[in-house]
Structure 1
């Protein structure tokens, strides 16, 4: 089939070239030949042994090992455990796949995979009209119907497959009309719709067929999760129209490369309706733009939307939304979204969101990541990582499943975090203690200690038992477990006490202490400790002039700022 088609086409072109004939309206229906002539790998001859009672998965594995053929498909559409019973085969790969899976499936080729899609229906193109080219423009029109039902098909994507400069959607009567700029000597019109087999028309324009049109590089983006797409996201639906989303469904992961795009809005672009399938080196969006991706730089006054990957720099005054991977720098005045991987830096005024982060997220408000295996999150208010993260720093709250590095916030929450630094920590696989004690100043207190296996936070309060000036105190501290044994634990803590008078009036005489806490385990949960301390205490008699700090072996002086020794004893209950 493939060789006959090529031979016939060469004969036609030779006759036209020799006789200088102008061809007008010459139409070649390529819906049968297109899958073969556009995909050399599918036209490759293969030899396959017979199979009896093996699964479809095993057949794919055999093709991969014997012919280096890898397949990409939606596992919901193929029963990989279906038993195969077939004899030996010697022929083209595409014929074998159609024999193996049936005619309801369509096959596309990328540089590394054969894409299998479900396409049980067929398109029929009728009354194709090609107007003569004027001023470097040609108008193509026609009607699209279903082969089986003969009914018009709405929302079929029709696009220029030669230069990729124009596209259209059919109306309710199946009619399309498309204005092609700078057409070459041959014009290929492609038609795509979800669940229909792709169809192509090759049109010969009324010019000498001497210079072949320069074709652009094309590609195919593979995604295994349909929920991680622009059309499936709330922001993506908000910033795009229903026509653009239908176009995405029809064309799937197909895209073409272009050096430059300029747009006012997603609907007003130099690439027209096809803009969502074009990967650009440079993209300038005055208000906002919608492209397949960027391999260079993209700038927008308000928003950038990319179906697939961004490699380079992406800047927007409002938001950036990327359906694929971000490899580079993403900066936005409001927020950044990467529905898949981030390998680089996200910076936003309010929030960043990525599925998997292998870089850094910096936001004035909040960062969100489902996975952050080697990434870092920095936020003014909130960081959230549903899986693993390298580290988190926030002005408010950190939430993660596992933190490999430091976690700094007022509140830290994680399943596993060895180095949380905050006022309150709730680490599922960490340490939690409730302690009761009294120190050399007669301050009886209760402390709650929470943290990871190494660092922990201390919050507590207490009352002075024998002071006439002071009544109560609130303490916070940062501690570290230095030695942990089944019967003995050695920790160190540095903390501050804010003091109040008996009427709960704030007293400016603060107290900072460093203590070493040896604890002996009386049982699995109960511990006893006696901790020596070195403390700096400010004078509580503020009306008496102080001549500077003094050193004292034991206890503070009421009228002087004092560096002094001290100690605390008590009991602790460890929650396990």
Structure 2
């Protein structure tokens, strides 16, 4: 533990991993501690050992000999320190240090300007390029060039804490008494190499699951971030571990505001960006004229005229005129004029004018908890383990859907659909446990459900080709496809009239030698006689099939039927129309002729016989 005396220079070295790898807010870590009647300095040393950090403070702020008892279980370090110091201090994380400061510091009213300068080198005296010099309280920073030189413009007559850091080296904090010109050369020790190999249960990526190149990008890799945020501000925020919370900030652009170039290190409760802003976190409300860029998490409400970008998680509401982009998880609601993107899981709702993308990591192990839904005018893409609701004007795609999927054009589920797929053109799901309604439906397997469409194709389901004859048509050809029991079919009939039918059916176990099925269909009748209008009317038919399995691929079917014909009552009159004989084997033509010539509905019982393959 380090104690600081005014006017005397102290250096504090600590072993830590690269800031970019281990950057963290120690104050949020949960710790358990139980100490009875011990000196304050002993408790502080224990906390340092438990948390893996060092305290830095002015010795006048802390009484090291004060006897204190402390008992906490899985409590945040921030609350533990509040109890230890009786809410008389504030805390700030810089590198691997926790800086202790007074709640009500004495204001430095001096306007004295002085310069701190020097050279930052490694232990062998070689200059360090891209080392960061950071003044603790006023958030002034400097990045060294190839020669390792720095010059920091400072203000006031009080002692100032300055942090020196460089990627791959131990960081150092110095407290410096102001002078007109202060020269300080700093040597940083090489970081101890500690390799941490973390292995997790690796779940193979489903080759069918959604995959977008967007998933590999980090916030610093996105072009618009480089366009808006200066490179110096990006470098400082990505390589300096600083955690500080401010009640409010205002900025015109990221480098011109109350937090200056160190804005990416600060957590704001209230943030107003006239044009654009850049911050570490938001815990409250952020408003931006054009763009809001958050390096880590957004908890609360974020509103911008064009773009919201968050590097990690969002908990709350995002509203953007053009695009919302989250590179972590989203718990809440996203609303944008064109595009919403979430790299992690989504618990909540996305609403956009053009496109929603969620759970774009595309891992089977990426579990989605809670309810989530997507609404867009164009496209919805969901790469998590499941979505509950997708509604789009054109196209939906998901790994699985438990709920409702509605599209103006196409629905795709590359897993299981538990619910309803509804589109105007095409539905696909690997496994169906619900209902599909579209012009064309496709599924690999139906476990418990039914497709309704003009064409239904079930890859591993019931698929039969049937040729038959009946009392009204000399020849019928039908294609039947569906699940184990329910199916749909298309049928064409040729006789005195032409017939095009669509229907649904139910069958008993087709693997047995004897089985039965019931078909219900509706069809359009067409005249072959040029003296009549082409469209003759509608024919509805209920047909029972009694089936005998002749061989593995051939089944003989026969059975009765009930027919109802509703003629086209607006067709042209024909003089001396001919009516078919009633006593013919194809006596159904008698009832069809009678219905069409008299324009009165007819019904009759019929028969059918055929072969099914």
Give the TM-score category using the shorter length.
0.5 to 0.7
2:182 is matched with none
In the alignment, which of 405, 422, 426 is matched to residue 438 of structure 2? 422
Please tell me whether residue 433 in structure 1 is matched to residue 463 in structure 2. yes
Report SS of the residue matched to 2:596. Answer: coil
Higher mean alpha-carbon deviation, 260-269 vs 396-405, is at 260-269
Q: Which among 215, 219, 239 is matched to residue 250 of structure 1?
A: 239
2:391 to 365, 368, 378: 378
Equivalent-residue separation in structure 1 for 2:11 and 2:390 (angstroms):
55
Q: 1 CA distance for matches of 2:505 and 2:156?
A: 71
SS in 2 for 1:241: helix
Aligned to 2:282: 279
Corresponding position: 1:201 with 2:173 = yes
Contact 1:443 1:462 (C-alpha < 8 Å) held by counterparts: no
Distance apart, 1:435 and its partner CA:
2.8
Alignment of 1:254-265 (within 5 A): none
Contact 2:499 2:523 in 1 (8 A): no
Q: How does 1:175-190 map to 2 (within 5 A)?
A: 187=161, 189=163
- Comparing 281-290 and 181-190, the one that deviates more: 181-190
Q: Does 1:314 align with 2:287?
A: no
CA distance in 1, matches of 2:224, 2:288: 13
The 3 A distance-change label for structure 1 pair 284 and 404 is same
Q: How far does the alpha carbon of each residue in 1:174-216 deviate from its partner, in whole angstroms, 9 at most, with x for none?
A: 55677899999764647463xx246242546769xxxxxxxxx
For structure 1, which segment, 383-392 or 343-352, has the greater mean C-alpha deviation from structure 2 after superposition?
Answer: 383-392
Counterpart-to-counterpart distance in 2, 1:286 and 1:337: 20
1:353-432 superposed matches below 5 A: 353-355=357-359, 357=368, 358-373=371-386, 375-387=388-400, 389-400=402-413, 401-409=415-423, 410-419=425-434, 420-430=436-446, 431-432=461-462
Alignment of 1:429-508 (within 5 A): 429-430=445-446, 431-437=461-467, 441-442=472-473, 444-452=475-483, 458=489, 460=490, 462-467=492-497, 471=498, 473=500, 475-477=501-503, 479=504, 484=509, 486-487=511-512, 497=523
Match 1:150 to one of 123, 126, 131? 126
The gaps in structure 1 that reach 5 residues or longer are 17-22, 46-90, 96-108, 113-121, 124-131, 208-221, 546-552
What whole-Å deviation, never above 9, does each CA across 1:280-339 have from its counterpart, x for those lacking one?
A: 411112111210222111111111110111111111111111011111111111111110
- Whole-angstrom CA distance in 1 between matches of 2:305 and 2:164: 33
Pick aligned residue for 1:342 from 337, 346, 351:
346
CA distance in 1, matches of 2:237, 2:480: 54
Q: Secondary structure at the match of 2:345?
A: strand
SS of residue paired to 1:346 = strand
- Compute the displacement of 1:501 (Å): 6.2
Q: Distance in 2 between matches of 1:255 and 1:534?
A: 80
Which has the higher Rg, Structure 1 or Structure 2?
A: 2
> Which residue of the partner structure matches residue 542 of structure 1?
571
Q: Distance in 2 between matches of 1:299 and 1:269?
A: 18
SS in 2 for 1:426: strand
Judge conservation of contact 1:282–1:294 (CA < 8 Å) in 2: no
Please say if 1:558 is aligned against 2:596: yes
Q: How many residues align?
A: 448
**TM-aligned CA distance change 1:34 to 1:412, over 3 Å:** closer
2:112, 2:518 → 1: CA distance? 80
Q: What's the secondary structure of 2:383's corresponding residue?
A: strand
Residues 543, 363 of structure 1: alpha-carbon distance in 2 compared, 3 angstrom cutoff: same
Query: 1:345 deviation in Å?
Result: 0.6
> Separation in 1 of the partners of 2:441 and 2:572?
40
Helix, strand or coil at the partner of 2:571: coil
Q: Distance in 2 between matches of 1:446 and 1:346?
A: 47
SS at match of 1:239: helix
CA contact (8 A) 1:365 1:381 kept: yes
Q: In 2, Cα distance between the equivalents of 1:251 and 1:512?
A: 78
Give distance in 2, aligned partners of 1:183 and 1:463.
101
Correspondence for 2:309:
305
TM-score by length of 2: 0.57
- CA 1:374–1:191 in 2, change beyond 3 Å: closer, same or farther? same
For 1:371, what is the secondary structure of its paired residue?
coil
Measured in 2, the distance between the counterparts of 1:447 and 1:235 equals 60
Q: 1:39 to 1:341 in 2, by over 3 A?
A: closer
